[in-house]
Amino acid sequence: MNTVSSSNSVIKNRFQSVVLAFRPKTLTASLVPCLAATALAVTTSPDVQWWIFSYALMASFFIQIGTNLVNDAMDFKKGADTDARMGPQRITHAGILTAQQVLLLATLFFLGAVVLGFPLVKEGGTPIVTIGILSVLMGYGYTAGPYPLAYRGLGDLFVILFFGLAAVMGLFFLHTKMWTIDSFILGLQIGLHATVLIAINNLRDIDGDAKVNKRTLAVRLGISGAKKEIYFLCLAPFVLQAYWLVHGHYLATLLPFIALPLAIKIIKNVQNTAPSVQYNKFLGQSAGLHLIFGLLISIGFII
C-alpha cells in the first residue's frame, strides 16, 4: 500500500510540475488583450459574438503555453538554464521531462491552437490565417529555430507585436471586420505592459544570459539601459491614454489611472534593486499591472 501511495505521490508531483511549467500565472498576457479587444468592439458593434472571444482566448492560451514549453526545453539545451538560475523551476533542467518530451508537449499545444483557429479563420478569412500562422511560428521561433528571437534581443518586440498589436487588432477585426487606429493604440498599450514582464525577467537573468551568449535586449542595453526600458514600458501606456480622452472615451481614459501607483511602485523597486531573485516579486507586480490596467480600460469601454 505504501508503495502504491508513494507512486501516486510521484505522479501527482510530476503532473503539478508540468502544469507549473505552463506558467499559469503569466497567462494574463493572453487574457488581457482578448478582454480589451472585445470591450473595444462592444463600443462599435453591440452584437459581439462571444464564441469568437472564447475560441480566440483558448488559442492564445495554447500558443503561449507552447511558447513557454519550447523556451523551457531550448534554454536547457543551449545551456542558459543552470543551478544558479534565479527564476522558477524548469522541468527540463530539473529532469522531470526530457527536452524531446517537452518539445512534443509544446507541439501538441500548438496543434491545439491551430484546431481552435479553424472556426476563426472561417469567420475572418486571410488576415486571421496570416496572424495565426505567424503567431505559431514565432512562438516556436522565440527560443528555437535558426534565428531564436530571445537570443537576438528581439523578444521584447515579439511580445509587443503578438501579445499586443496582433492579439488586439486581430480579435477586434474578428468582431467588427474593421482595422482601426483605435485597435492599434489599444494593442500598443496592452503590448507595452505585457513586455514589462519579459523586460524584468531578462534583467534578473542578465548575468547568466550574457555568459551563454543569450543576447537579450537587457544584455545589449546593460543594467542601466534595461532599467530605463522598464520605466518606459510601465509609463508609456498611461501617456497614450490622451488618445482616448481626445476621442471622448472618458471612463476608459480615467479608470486605468487607478493602476498608476502600481506602475510607479514597480519603477521604484527596479530602480533601487540590483538584478537578483528579488525580481521574481517584481514579476508578480508587473503581471498585476498588466491585468489591472487591461481590466479597467475594458470596463471603461463597456460602461
In the chain, the amino acid numbered 243 is: Y
- What's CA 284's distance to the chain center, in Å? 13
State residue 7's pLDDT score: 54
State residue 87's pLDDT score: 57
| Average pLDDT value for the chain | 89
pLDDT at 79 over 70: no
- Count other Cβ atoms within 10 Å, centred on residue 6: 10
Listed as own residue / partner, the contacts of 252-258 with beta carbons closer than 8 Å and 24 or more positions apart are 252/297, 252/300, 252/301, 253/300, 254/300, 255/296, 255/297, 255/299, 255/300, 256/293, 256/296, 256/297, 256/300, 258/292, 258/296
Q: How confident is the model at residue 19 (pLDDT cuts 50, 70, 90)?
A: confident
The domain locations on the chain are: 31-302
* Higher-scoring residue by pLDDT: 8, 132: 132
pLDDT at 14 over 80: no
State residue 81's pLDDT score: 59
State residue 80's pLDDT score: 58
pLDDT at 2 over 70: no
Whose grid coordinates read 472615451?
A: 249
Q: What is the pLDDT of residues 230-241, one digit of tens each?
A: 999 999 999 999
pLDDT at 99 over 70: yes
Q: Report the range of poorest mean pLDDT among 11-20, 42-51, 169-178.
A: 11-20
pLDDT at 249 over 90: yes
State residue 17's pLDDT score: 78
pLDDT at 162 over 70: yes
C-alpha cell at 46: 453591440
State residue 159's pLDDT score: 92
Candidate ranges 25-39, 131-145, 229-243; pick with highest mean pLDDT? 229-243
Half-sphere exposure of 159 (CA within 13 A, CB side): 25
pLDDT at 10 over 60: no
The whole-angstrom separation of Cα 139 and Cα 133 is 10
C-alpha cell at 166: 496582433
